[in-house]
Structure 1
Amino acid sequence: MEAVLHGEKLVDDYHWLRDKGNPEVLAYLEAENA
């Protein structure tokens, strides 16, 4: 995700992790916490 704030371009490569209802996110988090 990209956003512009006060004229600065911000890139959030992990924005997809906010969707906790997504099975891919849950699988990723479970693997990280194993």
Structure 2
Amino acid sequence: SIKETLQFVYDGNYWDFLVTIYGSNSFDFNKSLPA
């Protein structure tokens, strides 16, 4: 559901998921964010 998806994102699991997929070598998470 949308609520479950938002909860997943807000819990931070979504970001951990993205970092895991892209990997620290090919994806600089900090540089991808606005200052």
| Greater share of strand | 1
Structure having the higher helix fraction is: 2
If the length of structure 2 is used for normalisation, what is the TM-score?
Answer: 0.29
Look at both structures and tell me which one has the larger radius of gyration over its CA atoms.
Answer: 1
